[in-house]
Structure 1
Amino acid sequence: MTEPAPLPKIRIRGLRKAFGAKQVLDGIDLDVPQGTSFVVIGGSGSGKSVLLRCILGLITPDEGIIEIDGVDVLRAPQREREERLEEIGMLFQNGALFDSLSVWENVAFALLAPTASPRLSRAQARVRANDVLAQVGLDASVGDLYPSELSGGMQKRVGLARAIADRPEILFFDEPTTGLDPIMGAVIDGLIVDCVKRMGSTAIAITHDMASAQRIGDQAAMLYRGKLVWQGPASSLMHSGNPMVDQFTHGRREGPITMELRR
């Protein structure tokens, strides 16, 4: 007897979202298996960020299904929806650290929230923050600094530490290497891969950086004008055989992808 296929960690069907006359997502179907590191590529305006925000519950789609562990978070009761969304940790493109909080307080922000379960004391949260900072290669003394005292690479590390502090089952990465030099970008990618593997989390990253996409991704997909035009192994991104993917990954001016320029 054939065993049923394992339930995807995230399952998306028929996802659509428009802003006025502009159709940003146009019928997205996507499965992200448990424990997979999934990369979504595409140009500016292709719908990558909107897709991420729909899954996070920050934007309500017009149509479709978004399931996490088999629960449709768009239609589930509020408490069940919140429980699923609490499984998610997020590394924002610009770090999104709170300037008025010290580094360790930023890292431990979710652990100290009134809704945290279990909620830790400040002393316990500081110990946890120190441990997570060490996991991203930062000394505990960095915890006493403020975000304005950190370099861009250090801010990214702190953002990653905050994302993994409460050991989420799902991790989202929004352009994790933007603004970093190639070496620091590779360092951040290595930390992401290490954290995902150590925790067994399912990860989704959106990026323009093809080197980063191949380093952190198991699977990849490309969006173009709100549609999923290709999906396959991240290792095939540079030789996918798909004309749109090949044009995008190699940065060619000529090809099926056209730039809409305002005159």
Structure 2
Amino acid sequence: MTDAAPKIRIRGLRKAFGSKIVLDGIDLDVMQGTSMVIIGGSGSGKSVLLRCILGLIAPDAGSIEIDGVDVVALSSRRREAVIETIGMLFQNAALFDSLSVWENVAFGLLATGRRHGKRLSRAEARAHAGRMLEQVGLDPSVGALYPSELSGGMQKRVGLARAVAGQPDILFFDEPTTGLDPIMGAVIDGLIVDCVRRLGSTAIAITHDMASAQRIGDQAAMLYQGKLIWQGAASSLLDSGNPVVDQFTHGRREGPISMELRR
């Protein structure tokens, strides 16, 4: 038993767009140093949940606590300070085409001109970007290239290097293996696990890839019809005992989700 407070604690989170309810009373705890994977079909609200935590979307109701502080209730300036402690790997890497690879990796550092509160020169930022590239299996010389010169797998690695460059307390991963072949997907997952463990970060990933979910997740949860209908160990995703989760994770045509779609 432990009395440790969750790193991220969500209670009663609701969000609707017009008459469409996307999040309908979400309760979720993510403990310090663990990786939570959120699964669910397209349009189930996974990305909306991440955007609410990031403050990009304002929820209609509920609380989102990070280290015990409800970020929903914070002023914009104070919320931005909390969000700066979060690293994000976007679905398609989302690199800036006009910037070199090293400038993409060091983008946050260049924007603030600081690292750990200390002023950072452009040369120091480039050297730090080189070290981050090495941590994701790329030679620092790649920093001189531009995103258009990289393969999809290399772009993902650069996106991961950028996500961890500020040594964040929290990491978010949005469909980290989308567009990758199974081998490169496994490579990216391995790098994610290594980076999360090295930093001791708390992580949330959203994915459709069940192999990826089991590789990178400690815990898992499924969003369906606006609610978290199941939570448990990521290793139990294929044997959850929940008929909706089982149909989704095994990709079966018949089941409760299919019946819902036919209505």
How large is the Cα RMSD of the aligned pairs?
A: 1.5
**5 Å matches for 1:69-218?**
69-114=67-112, 116=114, 117-218=117-218
2:108–2:166: 8 Å Cα contact kept in structure 1? yes
CA distance in 2, matches of 1:137, 1:118: 27
Name the structure 2 match of 1:65. 63
Higher helix share: 2
Offset at residue 243 of structure 1 (A):
0.5
Q: In the aligned structure 1, how far is the partner of 2:151 from the partner of 2:75? A: 42
CA distance in 1, matches of 2:101, 2:187: 20
8 Å contact from structure 1 (residues 65, 72) kept in 2? yes
1:82, CA displacement in angstroms?
1.9
Inter-CA distance 4–185: structure 2 relative to 1 (3 Å threshold): closer
Extract unaligned runs of 5+ from structure 2: none
Is residue 55–residue 79 contact of structure 2 (8 Å, CA) maintained in 1?
A: no
Task: Give CA-to-partner distance per residue, 1:39-85, whole Å, 9 cap, x none.
Answer: 00000011100000000111001000000000000102333322211
Distance change (3 Å), C-alpha of 1:100 and 1:261: farther
User: Aligned partner of 1:165: which letter?
Assistant: A
Counterpart in the other structure of 2:19: 21
Normalised to the residue count of structure 2, the TM-score between the two structures is 0.96
* 1-structure distance, mates of 2:234, 2:151: 30
Q: Which residue of 2 aligns with 1:230?
A: 230
Deviations 1:187-246 (A, max 9, x none): 000000000001100000000000000000000000001100000000000011111110
Task: Please report the TM-score for the alignment, with normalisation by the length of structure 1.
Answer: 0.96
Deviations 1:78-111 (A, max 9, x none): 3332221111000000110000000000000001
1:32 aligns with 2:14: no
Aligned residue pairs, count: 260
Cα offset, 1:256, TM superposition: 1.0
Deviation of the 1:261 alpha carbon: 7.0
Q: Distance in 2 between matches of 1:217 and 1:161?
A: 19
Give SS of 2:97's match.
coil
2:118, 2:244 → 1: CA distance?
Answer: 47
Aligned-pair distance for 1:4?
A: 7.0
Mapped partners of 1:112, 1:99: distance in 2? 16
Q: Deviations over 1:109-141 (max 9, x none)?
A: 001113744341110001100000000000011
Q: Percent identity?
A: 79
CA deviation after TM superposition for structure 1 residue 143, in Å: 0.2
Tell me how far apart the structure 1 counterparts of residues 262 and 71 of structure 2 sit (CA, whole Å).
37
Q: In 2, are the aligned partners of 1:112 and 1:119 still within 8 Å (CA)?
A: no
Extract unaligned runs of 5+ from structure 1. none
The separation in 1 between residues aligned to 2:3 and 2:257, in whole angstroms, is: 35
Q: Measure the CA separation in 2 of the matches of 1:201 and 1:65.
A: 22
